[in-house]
Amino acid sequence: MRAIVIEKFGGPDSLVYTELPEPEPLDGHVVIGIKAFGLNHAEMHMRRGEWAEAARVSGIECVGLVKSCPGGEFPVGAKVAALMGGLGRTINGSYAEYTRVPASNVAVIESGLSWAELAAIPETYATAWTCLFRNLEITSGQTLVIRGATSAFGRAAVGLAVDAGVHVIGTSRNPERFPLLERLGVERAELEGPGLSERIKEAKHIDAVLDLVGNSTVLDSLEMLRRGGRACLAGWLGGLDPITDFNPLLQMASGVCLTFFGSFAFGKPGFPLSDVPLQTIAERVAAGRLKAKPSRVFRFEEIREAHRVMEAGEAGGKMVVVHD
């Protein structure tokens, strides 16, 4: 099968096309014929050698058709989505014609959407949904701040929260993107930057913050919460540097909760992929209730250009790669 491998850590030219054997059937696993896959910043960090783990074949998600499933969890030919379960980290991922995934990390996702449209859903929407409705336990009528709301992840979270009746305030570093957030349904856009908790008028009355900027802003996010409010750290748009000399006694607001979610937890106890309503999400995308159309669609042969666009910050949303 054709596959893209990380030949060495470095720039987009580190991604090289080659031929590899197709994955063999294995009990408890699903071999998937890949039709399309989404692109993620994690794969950029893996390519650079900045991630703790990186498989030779990158790619943490895909959509396609079941080729084999010895355990019978899914019928051959079923249309499925797969994400994480070690994909692209400890086992070869989705930058190929076929991949083999633990059955716990596969879900049926029957839909009339195109493969490109389906590929924009799995990782982004599964992670956003879990952050919002499991970690933050957000409910209709509450007020939520999403920091980094114009990212692909942020846009998915905005859509899901607004669809659930949540009052959303979204942030962006670029005021020119405020109209985009307003079209997605936020009640107000705020300029992302240091000291947001001192500038936002709802400070100390906010129910939840989904922080996708990362370690550089999460302590500030905690400062804007009401007593009992929650902040979920789930992204690193501001970089991977840790919080310097973090001391909760001196730096963390009292009476608030800090939680974290990483999508690598999917498939593990407590976070089954079956918990995420991917089928319902796909139906809402098809009905126009959620706006999940990919911002850019690349052919399999264009992986280096796709990574260049991602690295340059020119994605403008969720980018996907399709097989011809």
Q: Whole-model pTM above 0.75?
A: yes
- Residue 250 pLDDT more than 90? no
Percent of the chain with pLDDT over 90: 85
pLDDT in tens, 97-116: 999 999 999 999 999 999 99
pLDDT of 244:
85
Strand boundaries in the chain, DSSP class E = 2-6, 15-19, 29-38, 61-68, 79-83, 98-102, 106-108, 143-147, 167-172, 188-191, 206-211, 225-233, 257-260, 296-299, 319-322
Confidence tier at 234 by pLDDT (50, 70, 90): very high
pLDDT of 52:
81
Which residue has 């009746």 as its token pair? 165
Q: What is the DSSP letter of 87?
A: B
Q: What is the mean pLDDT of residues 252-263?
A: 92
Statement to judge: residues 175 and 248 lie in one domain: yes
Q: What is the mean pLDDT of residues 313-320?
A: 90
User: Strand, coil or helix: what is 110?
Assistant: coil
Statement to judge: residues 207 and 293 lie in one domain: no
Q: Which of 261, 285, 305 is the last residue of a domain?
A: 261
- Residue 223 pLDDT more than 90? yes
Confidence tier at 321 by pLDDT (50, 70, 90): very high
**CATH number of domain containing 77:** 3.90.180.10
pLDDT of 26:
96
Q: 250 is in which domain, residue-wise?
A: 124-261
Statement to judge: residues 212 and 285 lie in one domain: no
Statement to judge: residues 218 and 142 lie in one domain: yes
For the range 244-252, what are the long-range contacts, defined as Cβ-Cβ under 8 Å and sequence gap of 24 or more?
Answer: 251/219, 252/219, 252/222
Percent of the chain with pLDDT over 70: 100
pLDDT of 252:
84
Confidence tier at 239 by pLDDT (50, 70, 90): confident
The answer to whether the CB of 121 falls within 8 A of the CB of 282 is yes
- Residue 31 pLDDT more than 90? yes
Q: Which of 246, 261, 276 is the last residue of a domain?
A: 261
**CATH number of domain containing 226:** 3.40.50.720
Q: What is the DSSP letter of 128?
A: H
Instruction: Specify the higher pLDDT residue, 152 or 67.
Output: 67
Reading the block at residue 136, the tokens are 């933050």
Confidence tier at 313 by pLDDT (50, 70, 90): confident
Average pLDDT, the chain: 94
Q: What is the mean pLDDT of residues 242-267?
A: 89
pLDDT of 246:
86
Statement to judge: residues 132 and 238 lie in one domain: yes
Q: Which of 233, 261, 289 is the last residue of a domain?
A: 261
Cα–Cα dist 95/34, whole Å: 9
pLDDT of 181:
95
Q: What is the mean pLDDT of residues 15-36?
A: 97
Number of domains observed in the structure of the chain: 2
Statement to judge: residues 100 and 139 lie in one domain: no
Number of H helices, E strands in the chain: 10, 15
Statement to judge: residues 29 and 128 lie in one domain: no
- Residue 72 pLDDT more than 80? yes
